[in-house]
Amino acid sequence: MAAKSLSTPRLGSSLSSPAFQSLRTYKFPIPFLSFSYSAQFLYSRNFSLSISSPHPRRAFTTSIRADSTNGSEPPRNYDFDLFTIGAGSGGVRASRFAANFGAKVAVCELPFATISSDTTGGVGGTCVLRGCVPKKLLVYASKFSHEFQESCGFGWNYEAEPKHDWSTLIANKNAELQRLTGIYKNILKNAGVALIEGRGKIVDPHTVEVNGKLYSAKNILISVGGRPFIPDIPGREYVIDSDAALDLPSKPTKIAIVGGGYIALEFAGIFNGLTSSVHVFIRQKKVLRGFDEEIRDFVGEQMSLRGIEFHTEETPQAIVKSSDGLLSLKTNKGTVDGFSHVMFATGRRPNTKNLGLEAVGVKLSKNGAVEVDEYSRTSVPSIWAVGDVTDRINLTPVALMEGGALAKTLFANEPTKPDFSNVPSAVFSQPPIGQVGLTEEQAIKEYGDIDVYTANFRPMKATLSGLPDRVFMKLIVCAKTNKVLGVHMCGEDSPEIIQGFAVAVKAGLTKADFDATVGIHPTAAEELVTMRTPTRKIRSTPSEGKTDSDVKAAAGV
């Protein structure tokens, strides 16, 4: 076995770590060399040894330094190398990886509930329990009504109108959530991570309090996510948020959804598909601010054709409940009444209240997000943060990436920055959206000269169904380098298709590479490798004043 240098992960292990404990009993494979040491030697000196690693998976590189300043006092012995507050996607990933690297790890999380509060949460976090997973299950449920309509053109007839039972859907969904939270608990258990039930509060840079008990840790990780934000307007007590919308006792008959982001559109599609009357109120002229402009236009048109009514440039001012129990929504343009439910999907806020962060010196942004550096370190050197609580890119796969990178930085001697370039994303609206890379507007600003390829067509299924469904696809290409800068799609299976093309964009492939790829026929996806003529060519100077060489360098050419 090759000799490895023993000096700590730069951001390091504590004396309590399994990596260090293994040194106490490790036998050197050199027969004529003997070595002994005392605890006092360890506490008073810095040392580095070159030894073979006994760890079957990796060689530990551990630097053991005295914590005391004068060398006479012993360093602090911590209960854990890493204590994680919050068992969501990022926290579980960081904790599991850290344990696999040999660290002693604990995670605290509130008890499970389908709706989170100050006293409830659940192992798995927002995505698994109150976000991506349950929402996607409801999306699946809601798509059947459209498929029933499609099937008629293919010869299917129904003697009676299909009926949907909301209570069955919710009961089955909740049973699945219970199963998933159990799986996540087992993942932590199998990795050797201690799971502590309760709300964590940071007492000092190395101490966390849970249910009145104190736990010390070399490093503390904040991964508590975020929660829905509802503006303070009259009648807000009648409003439901996205958590509650996933667990309603009955299906809405008529619902107002305030917000134009992806959460609003996804729930609009869900309730529309389940035959509720749906009205969406947005402050802007279009939905999905920040998305490609043509995608914004297209998805709004398609959702309108499915019966969703959009109220644009309307700001909510109050909600009023009438004597019959129905709700009215007052906006700057007037009042719409008769709603059984009013839902606000007006963004989320980092869940940082009552964690003791400010008291120990952790800096927060104006919206309460934890400020971190490129390695996810906060303003307090021993405290770290990943996931939505940092308000970087609030997506589950990004939180997973951040958590994995942090574990490598702390315990694998691999300082790793999360890579936020070319992150693919999806909106599970109906029709859904998939995208990766730059929008047309971003590409013009950054690169100047671009070629844009688009396709807008009727999918094969719609030729027999007779429904007005269409598909929109878009490629954005750097004119100087031929590199594909962005891929955007709205239509059936868009997220599944774009996941594959995200690999191509991440790899820096060119339009010529796309052109050289043989398509699969007949599919909608083949259009992305068969578009040959640009819809338009844009020639302009990048806003940053980049030269041709700058543009090529940015494109990796």
Positions marked active-site: 521
Q: How far apart are CA 557 and CA 551, in angstroms?
A: 9
Positive or negative torsion for Cα 49, 53, 55, 59: positive
Q: Show binding-site residues.
A: 136, 200, 259-266, 347, 388
Peptide bond before residue 252 is cis, with ω within 30 degrees of 0: no
One-letter identity of residue 352: T
Tokens of 418: 């999360």
How far CA 22 is from CA of 25, 47, 164, 474, 476, in Å, comes to 6, 16, 60, 56, 54
Identify the H or E element spanning 482.
none
Q: How far apart are CA 380 and CA 357, in angstroms?
A: 10
**How many Cβ atoms from other residues are within 10 Å of residue 272's Cβ?**
24
E strands in 282-321: 309-311, 316-321
Q: Which of 88, 149, 25, 61 is nearest to 397 (CA)?
A: 88
Q: Is the separation of the CB atoms in 357 and 368 below 8 Å?
A: no
Q: Show binding-site residues for FAD.
A: 136, 200, 388
Q: How far apart are CA 42 and CA 254, in angstroms?
A: 70
Using the 8-state DSSP alphabet, how is residue 358 labeled? G
Question: What is the tally of helices (H) and strands (E) in the chain?
Answer: 15, 25
Tokens of 416: 């790793």
Burial class (CB in 10 A: 0-12, 13-18, 19+), 80: buried
Residues in the chain: 557
Please identify which residue in the block is written with the tokens 């109108």: 161
Q: Which of 109, 153, 176 is nearest to 468 (CA)?
A: 153
Q: Which of 441, 422, 400 is nearest to 504 (CA)?
A: 422
Q: How far apart are CA 528 and CA 516, in angstroms?
A: 12
Tokens of 370: 């934890």
Q: Show binding-site residues for NAD(+).
A: 259-266, 347
**How many Cβ atoms from other residues are within 10 Å of residue 199's Cβ?**
20
Q: How far apart are CA 538 and CA 444, in angstroms?
A: 8
